[in-house]
Structure 1
Amino acid sequence: MMSKPASQILRSLRRLPALLLRSACPIVGGQAVMEGIMMRHGEGYALAARHPSGDIVVERFPWFSLTRHPLLKKPFLRGFPVLLETLVNGIKALNRSAIVQGDEDETPISGPQLMLTMLLALFMAVLLFVVAPHGLSLLMQALGVGGGVEGLTFHLWDGFYKCCIFMGYIWLISFVPDIRRVFQYHGAEHKTIHAFENGGIVDVMAAAGMSRLHPRCGTTFLLFVICISIILHAVLVPALLHIYTPQNVVAKHALTIAFKLLLVIPISALAYELIRYAARLSGGPWASVLRTPGLILQRLTTAEPDKAQIEVALAALREALGEETAGREIRTADYIVRSVERP
């Protein structure tokens, strides 16, 4: 009879080919857009969208990057630049998907338009997730159920309202039909990436059987940002006001909000490293603690896709990878590769 250690070694050897194949799997990320999906790999990304005619149209673009310098690829320095470049490329992909749908009011976005769009998006994010929770926490102080900005209870209320606004925003937009379609494509993106990372043939059937939830999702990243911000604000804002507190009340709260905005840089850096760490964990209680909240939240930001939506995701994956498929066979429906004129 084989000893227990020997049987464990034998089982490990049997798993070795699959483990080697999985470790060699290229990292792919994506984003759902209007009637389509953007898949990014390496220095470029593919945008696949369902044209009103029914055809799948795929276009390839270079990835706009802020992390080409070796220093900005270092852990804890790359998080904020990655956040900005993801926002830039995401806006470009959304704009391009609208063009594929034949929206005559849409044109390729120019540099100044992109900058203005980014500034408006950042302004709305600051208003919703920094200024509004801060104002509501002041209201709790005025009602006598919270302390001042120097104390812990103020920041607990602030964090509570951040979470409520975030969850409420996602829940409300899920009722918009077009956004619901985007959430379905989001699910198709996750299923397709799961099928690719799982090994073997990647087709509609393989992807359909996978989970629509993925630990590397940007939704999880945003949740980590909110959780880390609650902790850092509760610790660092009182510390700042202990060192220097303006005499004017308005100036004190203006300083606090400005400091919170500055903290976005280290918060995004920590959140980025945390999500990468959580994705690398193979299992266990710690992995569950880190992954479960984000996976639960993804039940709101993803929906079960249909076969046609998975076909779009497969086309995006195939074109994003090019020849670097790690030995996997990716079976796609017919699609049209459209060349795009570069400015």
Structure 2
Amino acid sequence: MTKKLSVGGQAVIEGVMMKGPEKMAVAVRQANGEIAVDVKPVSSIRDRYPFFKKPFLRGVVSLVESLVDGMKALSYSAQISGEEEEKLDDKEMALTITVSVLLAVLLFVVVPTGAMRLLQDRGVGPVALNLVEGFLRLGIFLLYIGGISRQQEIQRVFQYHGAEHKTIYTYEHGLPLVVENVRPFSTLHPRCGTNFLMIVMLISIFIFAFLGWPSLPVRIMSRIVLMPVVAGISYEIIRYAGSHIEHPWVRRAILPGLLLQKLTTREPDDSQIEVAIASLKAVLPPDESHEQE
């Protein structure tokens, strides 16, 4: 059997982005019912500078590149689906990413560590303060996911998220990429970005617990500076889990992330599965893509 490519993806507005080693594709269901597919070559700093392929470093690079690719895919899908009239240019994209990162820092760093002032005044020790902060951060994250999952527009994105996972499962099992084969598979996948985020939250609780309790500005900076370390460790865990999923202890370790995917995925309909199939076929080599027809 031909070795399968390592393929990842992301749900976008009325569509799915798939990324393989050489190509990235965004497939979007247009207002007229047709599927538009945009394919671009994959360019990674890891290919130009092999140093960044080293363990832990590759996780940080992958996170940054995934964020940039994801924002570009979202911008394209919003334009094609009719949600926006114009695609964001590079400056607008940079501004959008910057604002998103700043809001994430405010919500998941500044708010939880600042709130610990209430416990600090009661004489709670540094380790306990860091642990409570970490679990508060996790709680805010879960509330955020739960809150947005109630929005109808987001629920459709989560359906495409489920279609992405089902389609990748079908490909990994060596089955032809047709709706009938894709439909029975699970919407939960061990290599999902949701799993990555959950592991980031849990690893950060452990690492930050031993940092002491300096002033608020120092605490905020320490969380930001150490985030690449946390991301690098989390990436290696996800990478290992994806290739050793047959081990019971691995399945138990990723269970929190799989449970969280019950919030971030929904069962897709056949038309959404068709979009995910179109996206995945577009990143496969020509000979393998023809085999899937």
TM-score, normalised with respect to structure 2: 0.95
Distance, in Å, in 2 between the alignment partners of 1:305 and 1:161 is: 32
Structure 2 counterpart of 1:62? 41
Question: Which of 117, 121, 133 is 1:138 aligned to?
Answer: 117
Distance, in Å, in 2 between the alignment partners of 1:299 and 1:328 is: 33
* Cα pair 1:199 1:328 within 8 Å, conserved: no
Question: What is the letter of the counterpart of residue 92 of structure 1?
Answer: K
**2:194 maps to 1:219:** yes
Distance, in Å, in 2 between the alignment partners of 1:120 and 1:31 is: 21
What is the deviation of 1:293?
Answer: 1.1
Structure 2 counterpart of 1:50? 29
Match runs of 1:72-87 below 5 Å = 72-87=52-67
Alpha-carbon displacement from aligned partner over 1:150-196 (angstroms, at most 9, x marks no partner) = x1110111111111111100100011111000000000000000000
Question: Which of 223, 228, 233 is 1:265 aligned to?
Answer: 228
**2:149 maps to 1:174:** yes
Match runs of 1:166-245 below 5 Å = 166-235=141-210, 237-238=211-212
Structure 2 counterpart of 1:249? none
Question: What is the letter of the counterpart of residue 61 of structure 1?
Answer: K
Q: Structure 2: any 5+ residue segments left out of the alignment?
A: none
Quick one: percent identity of the two aligned structures?
43
Structure 1 counterpart of 2:102? 123
Distance 1:64 1:169, change over 3 A: farther
Structure 1 counterpart of 2:124? 147
* Cα pair 2:13 2:28 within 8 Å, conserved: yes
Distance 1:234 1:100, change over 3 A: same
What is the deviation of 1:324?
Answer: 5.5
Q: What SS is found at the alignment partner of 1:78?
A: helix
Structure 1 counterpart of 2:258? 295
Question: What is the letter of the counterpart of residue 177 of structure 1?
Answer: Q
Distance, in Å, in 2 between the alignment partners of 1:292 and 1:324 is: 36
What is the deviation of 1:283?
Answer: 1.8
Distance, in Å, in 2 between the alignment partners of 1:165 and 1:228 is: 16
Alpha-carbon displacement from aligned partner over 1:60-80 (angstroms, at most 9, x marks no partner) = 123353323100011111111
Structure 2 counterpart of 1:255? 218
* Cα pair 1:76 1:269 within 8 Å, conserved: yes
Structure 2 counterpart of 1:8? none
Question: What is the letter of the counterpart of residue 87 of structure 1?
Answer: L
Root-mean-square deviation over aligned CA pairs: 1.6
Structure 1 counterpart of 2:16? 37
Q: Structure 1: any 5+ residue segments left out of the alignment?
A: 1-19, 246-251, 332-343
Structure 2 counterpart of 1:95? 75
Alpha-carbon displacement from aligned partner over 1:120-143 (angstroms, at most 9, x marks no partner) = 11101111111111022222333x
Distance, in Å, in 2 between the alignment partners of 1:43 and 1:284 is: 30
From the CA coordinates, give the structure whose radius of gyration is larger.
1
Distance 1:43 1:201, change over 3 A: closer
Distance 1:324 1:28, change over 3 A: farther
Structure 2 counterpart of 1:284? 247
Q: What SS is found at the alignment partner of 1:46?
A: strand
* Cα pair 2:113 2:219 within 8 Å, conserved: no
Stretches (4+) displaced over 6 A: none
* Cα pair 2:114 2:216 within 8 Å, conserved: no
Structure 2 counterpart of 1:16? none
Distance 1:282 1:102, change over 3 A: closer
Distance, in Å, in 2 between the alignment partners of 1:328 and 1:122 is: 40
Distance, in Å, in 1 between the alignment partners of 2:22 and 2:97 is: 22
What is the deviation of 1:305?
Answer: 0.3
What is the deviation of 1:289?
Answer: 2.1
Q: What SS is found at the alignment partner of 1:283?
A: coil
Question: What is the letter of the counterpart of residue 76 of structure 1?
Answer: F
Q: What SS is found at the alignment partner of 2:194?
A: helix
Alpha-carbon displacement from aligned partner over 1:252-276 (angstroms, at most 9, x marks no partner) = 2101110110001111000000000
Match runs of 1:9-28 below 5 Å = 20-21=1-2, 24-28=3-7
Distance, in Å, in 2 between the alignment partners of 1:284 and 1:42 is: 26
* Cα pair 1:66 1:82 within 8 Å, conserved: no
Distance 1:209 1:329, change over 3 A: farther
Structure 2 counterpart of 1:330? 292
* Cα pair 1:314 1:330 within 8 Å, conserved: no
Alpha-carbon displacement from aligned partner over 1:289-319 (angstroms, at most 9, x marks no partner) = 2221111110000000000000000000111
